[in-house]
Structure 1
């Protein structure tokens, strides 16, 4: 039997689970307090399909009949016992159901629970997740486990992410209706002002980039990101093996191609830029007034950057980027484009940083450019121990080998999925 660690995510097939046949999730608890287990069926935007698709003790079957609460015990118990069993038939769910979230809630802090186990069964037990009192903080709700589609494949994620407020707060978070009460705080929402056209901004301020703006707009609209407010960062490998990429103008071209995303996302229409070798260096903001020739001009040009010996140290610049935005407030999501030509050797350090920063609203898009030896960067999807999959990787032999349209498609492929899940978990709040 497989044990699912917190933050682990994997295809169900990795556990010999056939997603075309029904599966059962059994929740076994030892708890002196009353607690509830609910299942939310969500669409691609992370919202409840409708209120009938919240499956719990008072509504034990979804309208489609493919999500069923087949067993439920509500009372506290001094001994271990099965509180809930859900039967799910993933292959027969409607295509607009993108994920199932299993949520724990109570009227008092969850850290009073002695133990909780989730078993995934299909004829026999295939996987298990275990939690103790120390795994639950003072929150009254926790998003425990998610079954979700990715590229047409059903996967499982052991999220175990605490959530402020109880069940009502989670229902509201997923877009469901909650009966009004005296404790409900009425929110006021200001009208959202549409952003100006990206093409128009570029035409006015950087006409050289208009064609790039048109191609970026297609990818942004396809993913409904054109109104997103976010910060954009660019991290550039400046180790010795990258010299050829700098001399041929490839790195400046990266600056040109990422800038339309920064102009679209960021209210300041600029991105923050770092370079790294052994040491990281913050190069400042890149905007529409200084992007042209930035690589050859910033801080005396790329040859003069204060990076120490021109060897790889990815983990150190990742820490620097994280600390920069932590000081800045982390009030909006952050998209980091991280360029490397390989030679990655500190797999353990990178893994540690990526695990620690997964709880922050920062998404890391790693791009391998004309190199090799990418190490852990090529195995990011299978990296365990994170509360969320917060990064992606793709590689290019040469920037000229890929069209600008295809480059934007690759750069934005995983970001919307992360954004949706991060909002579900409360990591991204805007």
Structure 2
């Protein structure tokens, strides 16, 4: 049986769970207080499909019949007992259901709970997560566990994050309706933010060549409610010898063009920081609307003249350089790093060490494999244990022409919003709105 630590994520098939067959989740607790477990079916934007897709004691079956609360016991108990039991059939859920979130709630602080266990069963028990009183703070709700799709594969995340405002605030957070007069809901307040200029308008004024990219980026940003986010953006470019073809064909310049709309949207300076690396890293400076065009061929004499030492891979060294750069800069807002590599990764231990330490910082790493192979640890970082939070994601492309710009932005932003929420709840991110 697999033990899921807090923050751990894994594909269900890695846990010997067949996502085409029904799954049972059993919540066992020992508690002197009344408590409830609810399941929220969410879309790709993290919003409740509709109010009928909140499955709880008063609404035990989803409209589709594929999410069922088959047992519920909210009363206190002096001994361990089954609190709730859900049966889900992931393969029969509608395509617009992107994830299931299982939430714990009570009318009093959750740190009074003595113990809680979640077991995932399929004929036999396949996985278990365990929590003690010390794992719960003064909040009256906690987002415990998530089943979610990624690249067509169902995965599990042991989130275990407290939520201020109780169950009503979580309902509102997921876009559900709460009855007026509910005092708990009244505690959940939203701080208004100053509306930014339209990304499309900024590009039309300053970089008309990128207007179409801006339109497509805006769709993904709005879908994930990131259009008002303040963050910094970094680009890290593999410049080892095997990447020469990508530079000559203009693919790397195209990467610059495609990420710039995100930087313009997120960053007050409307620019991104750029590094290149081979054996040695080199900071290439900022890329903005005034210098993005031809940046790869012009910056520091052009890509062939960058001071990178022998053109061999050394990912760990540039990761350290990026981390130290932002530590000196103050870490006052979240940072999104797009890291391009064509593979040949060999320092798995060094990369693991850097990424484990970097998980404590407000930095999210989006790795993209471009036209290569041998990505090593980069493909496995998403499921790497030992970090306070999952701080990275990976996808690969044979060629930029193989994917539409819309799909590229969807991939680039797939896990960033989830990390952002969890990092805020852990206090790793304190700025950025």
TM-score, normalized by the shorter chain, greater than 0.5 = yes
**More deviation in 347-356 or 180-189?**
180-189
* CA offsets 1:295-331 (integer angstroms, 9 cap, x no match): 4554666577676776544334335545655676767
**More deviation in 306-315 or 365-374?**
306-315
Instruction: Check the 8 A contact 2:162/2:425 in 1, yes or no.
Output: no
Q: Structure 1 residues 334, 68: closer, same or farther in 2, change over 3 A? A: same
| TM-score calculated relative to the size of structure 1 | 0.77
Q: Structure 1 residues 94, 330: closer, same or farther in 2, change over 3 A? A: farther
Deviation at 1:181, TM superposition (A): 6.1
SS at match of 1:126: strand
SS at match of 1:155: strand
* CA offsets 1:129-182 (integer angstroms, 9 cap, x no match): 222344334544321111223444443222222333433332332233445669
Deviation at 1:234, TM superposition (A): 0.8
Equivalents in 2 of 1:245, 1:200: separation in Å? 31
Q: Structure 1 residues 353, 60: closer, same or farther in 2, change over 3 A? A: farther
* CA offsets 1:91-149 (integer angstroms, 9 cap, x no match): 55455433221112344544443432111223332322222344334544321111223
Deviation at 1:273, TM superposition (A): 1.8
Q: Structure 1 residues 394, 190: closer, same or farther in 2, change over 3 A? A: closer
Structure 2 stretches of 5 or more lacking a match? none
Aligned to 1:398: 399
SS at match of 2:187: coil
Structure 1 stretches of 5 or more lacking a match? none
Equivalents in 2 of 1:378, 1:291: separation in Å? 29
Instruction: Check the 8 A contact 1:47/1:175 in 2, yes or no.
Output: yes
Q: Structure 1 residues 85, 215: closer, same or farther in 2, change over 3 A? A: closer
Equivalents in 2 of 1:165, 1:187: separation in Å? 6
Q: Structure 1 residues 320, 156: closer, same or farther in 2, change over 3 A? A: same
**More deviation in 327-336 or 260-269?**
327-336
Instruction: Check the 8 A contact 1:104/1:142 in 2, yes or no.
Output: yes
Equivalents in 2 of 1:74, 1:400: separation in Å? 54
Instruction: Check the 8 A contact 2:119/2:125 in 1, yes or no.
Output: yes
Q: Structure 1 residues 163, 405: closer, same or farther in 2, change over 3 A? A: closer
Instruction: Check the 8 A contact 2:45/2:223 in 1, yes or no.
Output: no
Q: Structure 1 residues 225, 373: closer, same or farther in 2, change over 3 A? A: same
Equivalents in 2 of 1:124, 1:428: separation in Å? 39
SS at match of 2:127: strand
Q: Structure 1 residues 387, 146: closer, same or farther in 2, change over 3 A? A: farther
Q: Structure 1 residues 218, 52: closer, same or farther in 2, change over 3 A? A: closer
Equivalents in 2 of 1:166, 1:326: separation in Å? 34
**More deviation in 41-50 or 418-427?**
418-427
Equivalents in 2 of 1:384, 1:166: separation in Å? 29
Equivalents in 1 of 2:220, 2:49: separation in Å? 26
Q: Structure 1 residues 162, 350: closer, same or farther in 2, change over 3 A? A: farther
Equivalents in 2 of 1:167, 1:400: separation in Å? 45
Deviation at 1:338, TM superposition (A): 0.8
Equivalents in 1 of 2:413, 2:389: separation in Å? 17
Instruction: Check the 8 A contact 1:46/1:420 in 2, yes or no.
Output: no
Instruction: Check the 8 A contact 2:10/2:156 in 1, yes or no.
Output: yes
| TM-score calculated relative to the size of structure 2 | 0.76
Equivalents in 1 of 2:132, 2:394: separation in Å? 34
Q: CA RMSD in A?
A: 4.4
Equivalents in 2 of 1:327, 1:267: separation in Å? 19
Deviation at 1:287, TM superposition (A): 0.7
Instruction: Check the 8 A contact 1:12/1:154 in 2, yes or no.
Output: yes
Equivalents in 2 of 1:281, 1:25: separation in Å? 49
Q: How many equivalent pairs are there?
A: 430
**More deviation in 39-48 or 320-329?**
320-329
Instruction: Check the 8 A contact 2:169/2:188 in 1, yes or no.
Output: no
Alignment of 1:84-233 (within 5 A): 84-178=84-178, 198=199, 201-209=202-210, 230-233=231-234
Instruction: Check the 8 A contact 1:318/1:353 in 2, yes or no.
Output: yes
Equivalents in 2 of 1:63, 1:102: separation in Å? 17
